[in-house]
Amino acid sequence: MDMSWLFWFFLLGSFLTPLFQQKLLEGQRRSVIVRMERKRKSRVVTLIHRQETVSFLGIPVSRYIDIDDSEEILRAIRLTPPDMPLDLIVHSPGGLVLAAEQIACALIRHKAPVSVFVPHYAMSGGTLVALAADHIVMDPNAVLGPVDPQLGQMPAASLLKVLEQKDHNDIDDQTLVLADVARKALRQVRELVVTITTANGMPRERAEALADLLSQGTWTHDYPISAEEARELGFPVETDMPEEVYALMMLYPQHGRGRPSVNYIPLPYEMPKRGKGALGGFLSAWRGGGDEE
């Protein structure tokens, strides 16, 4: 009996299974988004960047804020009535300043309240987008970050330090050109932060002080700004995160690497009642039920 059909069946399954899994995942995400929209009576848009397996070969792709993202978000805003609140869920390491600026300016122009939800982190360009919101909702352990521009792998502010510390005759032409671009980038990002924050009602003097702190190289580019610190800096931060945001993040799994570095039982546990052993409390939580009286 010719068993070659098994090979072709296996090959076809290898191609189709990831497609079915991706479609199922997209349907689950859409269901959570619709539930959140009905609950909050808003338009929900996601800006989530993770490594995901995108083909049957399991090739991970790293994402960041780019022009395609800004184009899609601007389209979503155009499709949203001016009087409908807008909820943007951001999970991103940052990206292109141009794309982040387009998104931020579009959020500022939206007449209804805009909320940005940060379940884990919104760094660099993600923070720039968050600044445009009327409300920033952060998980208590989530972080924002500085928005100082980077030229390749080099911070713009550090490039200017080179000019201060070395004689210009000892600096090569390429570094001098980069330093000139860095000076312009620092000025442009500072002005952008001032424009966004003043448009949201922050007094200009305070907005300029915040812009200097965030954009001029005060910290390293990966410095984590906690919810408490963000609130002290003048960000409109709250920490009452909707459960739908956490549920949605669970549907954006990190790319698996065979042996996960983090593993746990994905169930909410309850503290055992007095007199019950640890094992009994564990089993009760695992079953999802409480104690019987």
Range name among 121-135, 178-192, 218-232, 256-270 with the lowest pLDDT average = 256-270
pLDDT for 143: 98
**pLDDT band at 105; cut points 50, 70, 90:** very high
At the second CATH level, the architecture of 4-145+224-286 is Alpha-Beta Complex (3.90)
At residue 44, the 3 state secondary structure works out as strand
Range 206-224 average pLDDT: 96
DSSP secondary structure string, 87-139? EEEEEB--B-HHHHHHHHHHHHH-SS-EEEEESSEE-THHHHHHHT-SEEEE-
Tokens of 187: 């000025």
pLDDT for 59: 46
Burial of 134 (0-12, 13-18, 19+ CB in 10 A): middle
Range name among 75-79, 86-90, 238-242, 256-260 with the lowest pLDDT average = 256-260
Range 102-128 average pLDDT: 97
pLDDT for 5: 66
Tokens of 17: 């299974």
pLDDT in tens, 22-79: 777 788 899 999 999 999 999 999 999 975 544 434 444 457 899 999 999 999 999 9
Range 81-110 average pLDDT: 96
pLDDT for 23: 78
Report the mean per-residue pLDDT for the chain.
86
Residue 113: what are its φ and ψ, rounded to 5°? Answer: -60, 140
- More confident site: 154 or 254: 154
Q: How much of the chain, in percent, has pLDDT values that exceed 90?
A: 65
Query: Count of CB atoms within 10 A of residue 10's CB?
Result: 9
